[in-house]
Chains A and B, each alone.
Chain A
Amino acid sequence: MEQELQLALSGLLAGFTYALVAVGLTLVFGITRVVNLSHGAFFALGAFVTCSVVQWGGRGFLALPLVFVLSLLLGMGLERWVIRPVRRHHAVVAIVTLAVAIFMEQIFQLVWGPDYQSIPRELPLVGFMGTLVDLQQIAAALVAVVLLLVLFGLLRTRIGMAVRLVAQDPEGAALVGIDVPRVQTVVFGVACGLAAVAGNLTAFAHSIYPAMGRVPLVMALAVVIFGGLGNVHGALVAGLILGLVASGVSFYVSPEWSYITMLLVIAVGLLTRPSGLLGRVGRRD
């Protein structure tokens, strides 16, 4: 029973991380119709900046506002000057964002070097009902939940309505006076900021290296597709499900089956619900 509890806890906490990365990606797709392949590089940026702050004697959590603002500004600049000029050509956008990811990896290598880096945890583990609860992971999940709640709350405000209108009908939004390009730029920046925050929150648990953003990107893409493209709630639910599946299969079947089972779950999910877990059938492309 203790083992099962430990596994469930690990799976849930891993799921929150997937969700935080994926929510940004799905938000960008929902608002701008762009699949941002540089999203993982912002995750890595968050981890690297956190690593530097810790190495300079600071606290990892204190780096959180810094990584968010830095990535927000970088993301807004990227959208405004790199993506906007080619946005109408979907294939070109994908290639451009991939090129940005590779470029950012090279910059990380130049600035931080190619070696694996690591930072120690700042919060301890505590015993709870026979399991070990990682307070740092709990704190990371809480921050992720708070950020997601803030995001969902914002989407229900007047500004959020404008954002949702841009997502549903950009032309209509422009006709009623909404500055569509500006909304798209800000949303893109916020999404990059969320990816960097995920990098910050999990930096203590992983090794940090220039190409570290690739796997979270693939996982986030899988979560986004599984949850329903452009559906923020779907991304959250899909992240949690996949986190639990990976954890369970790894323990009860074999670790080598966990990744492939996750992909299998996604494939079966999409075959039965082609629009994703919470996606709506017949939505506008």
Chain B
Amino acid sequence: MRGRAVLALVGLLALFVLSGCARAPETGLRVGVLAPLTGPFASQGQAMQQSLQLAAEEINRAGGVLGRPVELLFGDSKGTADATRSEALRLIHKEKVNVLLGAYLSEETMAAAEVAAENRVLLMVPVAATNELNARVANEYEKYKYVFRTSYNIDQWAGLMGGFIADMGVSRYAFVGPNIRWNRELAQALRDYLASSGIAPVYEEFYSPKEPALEPIVVALKGKGPGVVVLGDPGQHAINFVKKARDLGLKAPLFSVGGALGDERVARTLPAGGPLYFQAAAWDRTSEEARRFFAAYRERYGYHPVGYADVLARDTLFVLTQAVNKVGSLDVPRLIQTLEQGEFRAACGVYRFDRSHQARWGKGEGLQGMVVEWKDGRAEERWPRI
């Protein structure tokens, strides 16, 4: 009886080991994706997921990476640093991913950067904008050299938006957004950027991200008469703000950082009453690759992506796979070197990284972004003029 029990135990152990062997990765590149798939930021998380799935299919159709298909494994970061940390650890240690890609919020991304640095795993950042990420790589290179960001940081974002505002020919602007660190940093960076053009803020206010009373802000804005109102809110309150602003007769142009207001399904429901612009990393005319991506996305999911988290996540996977194919292996030090020195073409333009592993965005660089205007529910690319 005891012998049978031992035999059964050995059999179970063998099965366990064999099943483990069977799960050994047969793909060329296993990418662990960190995105908020549930919770308040699930909309953006889903956009990242959908774009990455399209990108992986496209890459695999073209032969994959190192002759093998790319495999995406998703972790739900839920919009919190804690969930991001635990999902990053699961993806690294249980799913044995080669690279991490994500997350969405800056808080999430800083947590992912810590995990990547501790485990010496490459982390490709497609969305988060905090300048702190660059500072860490620059100040503690040996520890954080695994982190690369393809999206624009706060300073670059301010430069992209400020460039458009300066070209509008206005002398006064207003900045309104939720009272969060990222937004305050953006307002400060925009103020600094526009000061050199003699453009000053006439109103700068931050509302509670919980339950903002938007009507008083609109009433105050009407009294200030800004040439343009910058709306630093990529989330749900941006929609509410535009509705309130137009309903209460604020006719000034509204310029959104993008996100929720880049969604054509939302744009169709907004009241008219003045120009509505939003900033995007790319739109149809940015490049032929962008046009093809947006068309494929619309065909698959039935609507145009917002041109931010979606296209940036997609590009990040393309940058990564180009680097792996250049190196010819998954050797991390050589991948870092290749990313630091190489050029990578994708939908938003040509990606090159600076010393702090930040992609170079801005006028004259390979990446410049796009300002789009909603007109009667249709998107019209306004800036830069191509």
Q: Which of A10, A118, A209, A211 is close to B270, meaning CB atoms less than 8 Å apart?
A: A118
B208 pairs with A256, CB closer than 8 A:
yes
Residue pair A10, B215 in contact (C-beta under 8 Å): yes
* Contacts from A to B (Cβ < 8 Å): 3, 6-7, 10-11, 14, 105-106, 109, 113-121, 125, 132, 134, 204-207, 209-212, 214-215, 218-219, 246-251, 254-256, 258-260, 262
B248 touches A132 (CB 8 A): yes
Q: Tell whether, in the assembled complex, residue A259 and residue B239 are in contact, meaning their CB atoms are under 8 Å apart.
A: no
A–B Cβ pairs within 8 angstroms, 10 of them: A6-B219, A114-B43, A114-B46, A117-B266, A120-B270, A120-B271, A214-B40, A219-B211, A255-B179, A258-B212
B45→A258 contact, CB < 8 A: no
Within 8 A of A (CB), among B27-44: 37-40, 42-43
Is B217 among interface residues, defined by CB-CB distance under 8 A? Answer: yes
* Interface residues on chain B, size class: 35 or more
Contacts of B244 in A (CB 8 A): 205
B278 to nearest A CB, angstroms? 13
Whether the pair A132, B247 counts as a contact (CB closer than 8 A) is yes
Please tell me which one of the listed residues B38, B236, B263 contacts residue A106 in the complex, with CB atoms under 8 A apart: B38
How many residue pairs between the two chains, A and B, have CB atoms under 8 Å in the bound complex? 130
Answer yes or no: B328 CB below 8 A from chain A CBs: no
Given A250-B213, A254-B205, is A116 in contact with B243 using a C-beta cutoff of 8 Å? no
Contact of B45 with A251 in the complex, beta carbons under 8 Å: no
Q: A255 near B206 (CB under 8 angstroms)? A: yes
Contacts of B243 in A (CB 8 A): 118, 121, 204-205
B209–chain A nearest beta-carbon distance, Å:
9
B179 touches which one: A113, A121, A256 (CB < 8 A)? A256
- Given A204-B243, A207-B237, 4 more A-B residue pairs with CB atoms under 8 Å apart are A207-B266, A246-B211, A247-B215, A255-B208
User: Once bound together, how far apart are the Cα atoms of A259 and B208, in whole Å?
Assistant: 6
Interfacial chain A residues near B240, Cβ < 8 Å: 205-207
Q: Name the residue of chain A whose CB is nearest to the CB of B236.
A: A207
A10 and B216 contact, CB distance less than 8 A: yes
> Do A250 and B216 form a contact, CB below 8 Å, given A205-B240, A215-B210?
yes
Q: B220 contacts the other chain (Cβ, under 8 Å)?
A: yes
Contact B217 A118 (CB under 8 A): no
B207 within 8 Å of A by Cβ? Answer: yes
Q: Is B337 in contact with chain A by the CB < 8 A criterion?
A: no
Q: How far is the CA of A119 from the CA of B239 in the complex (A)?
A: 10
Q: Cβ of B249 < 8 Å from any Cβ of A?
A: yes
Contact pick for B207, options A121, A207, A215, A258, CB 8 Å: A258
Q: How far is the CA of A120 from the CA of B247 in the complex (A)?
A: 11
Which of chain B's residues have a CB closer than 8 A to the CB of A260? 208
> Does B265 count as interface, using CB distance less than 8 angstroms?
yes
The answer to the question of B269 belonging to the interface, with a C-beta cut-off of 8 Å to chain A, is: yes
- Rounded to whole Å, the gap between the CB of A278 and the closest CB of chain B is 23
Q: Does B223 contact A (CB under 8 A)?
A: yes
Residues in A with CB closer than 8 Å to B249 are 132
Contact among A132, A210, A212, A255 for B213, CB-based, below 8 A = A255
Nearest chain A CB to B37's CB is how many angstroms away?
Answer: 8
Closest chain-B Cβ to A39's Cβ sits at a distance in Å of 16
Provide the residues of chain B in CB contact with A134, threshold 8 Å: 247
B339 at the interface (CB under 8 A from A): no
A123 to chain B, nearest CB (A): 11
Contact A259 B217 (CB under 8 A): no
Tell me the complex Cα distance, A114–B260, Å. 12
Q: Report yes or no: B247 in contact with A121, Cβ–Cβ below 8 A.
A: yes
When A211-B40, A255-B207, A260-B208 are in contact, do A120 and B215 touch as well, CB less than 8 Å?
Answer: no
